[in-house]
Amino acid sequence: MPILAAQEQNAVAHWASGPDLAVLAEVFDEAITIAIMQRQLGPALRASITAQCAAQPWQLAWRGPADATLEQALIRSMPAPQQAAELIADVRLLAEAVACLFDVDAVGIRMRLLDGAMCPRFHCDNLPVRLVTTYSGPGSEWLPEQALDRAGLGKPEPGKPEVVRDAGAIRQLAEGDVCFLKGSGWVGNEDRGIVHRSPAVVAGQKRLMLTIDPQF
């Protein structure tokens, strides 16, 4: 058995995954730093997504309640608004889930169509928690705790160790998966923020991603 696999068996898993929305609540478990809802996107939602990806890169940054005002902001930003209903409904559902789970009145939303990696270096976010999903293209990559050296995080410097101890241990979210990333801003998780990065995007490939931050 590879050394890393043996280490993972002997370590307390800090991730949770499953096919239902309820798995996202596992992020409240002290041990969990990433909770993943695995899902397959339906044909109607895929068609709506494809229509929004047929444009040049675009983005939306918005803050407010998870209600009709969010839908209106999305309609104004979508390059193909006539075909956006299914995608907008999904974004609102996820925004409502974030607002409910964290008992907040507002969420911060960023939606981007990218043609390159946004954060290509492994890092952890200095915020409490963030929902991430990739609607089209490769999903975000993350590292199990046993596979990284936190001394290597941050700005590259001479003599600094590599963050990744085993490249074969890198894990990747699938297209459509929804996850909560627990950052170093979560009380009690200051030294355990999940380490992740944007995936490589090949020439001609686009990536449509959504992030939602509860506004505490």
Q: How many CA atoms lie within 13 A of 49 on its CB side?
A: 23
Q: Find the helix or strand (DSSP H, E) in which 179 lies.
A: strand 178-182
Domains, the chain, ordered by start = 3-214 (2.60.120)
CB atoms within 10 A of CB 1: 7
Task: Please give the C-alpha separations between residue 212 and each of 127, 130, 166, in angstroms, as whole numbers.
Answer: 12, 6, 30
Kindly report which listed range (111-125, 159-173, 196-210) carries the lowest average pLDDT score. 111-125
Report if pTM > 0.95.
Answer: no
Q: Which residues touch 54 (CB under 8 Å, ≥6 apart)?
A: 79, 80
Show the tokens assigned to 81.
């608004």
pLDDT band at 10 (very low <50, low <70, confident <90, very high): very low
Quick: pLDDT tens for 75-100.
Answer: 999 999 999 999 999 999 999 999 99
The whole-number pLDDT of residue 11 equals 53
SS3 category, 113: strand
| Burial bucket for residue 147 (CB in 10 Å: 0-12, 13-18, 19+) | buried
pLDDT reading at 44 higher than 50: yes
Is the confidence at residue 132, as pLDDT, over 90? yes
Q: What percent of the chain has pLDDT over 70?
A: 93
Please compute the mean of the pLDDT values over residues 11-28 and round it to a whole number.
91
pLDDT band at 117 (very low <50, low <70, confident <90, very high): low
What are residue 178's phi and psi, to 5 degrees? -120, 130
Cα–Cα distance measured from residue 201 to residue 116, given in angstroms and rounded to the nearest whole number: 5
| Mean pLDDT computed over 152-180 | 93
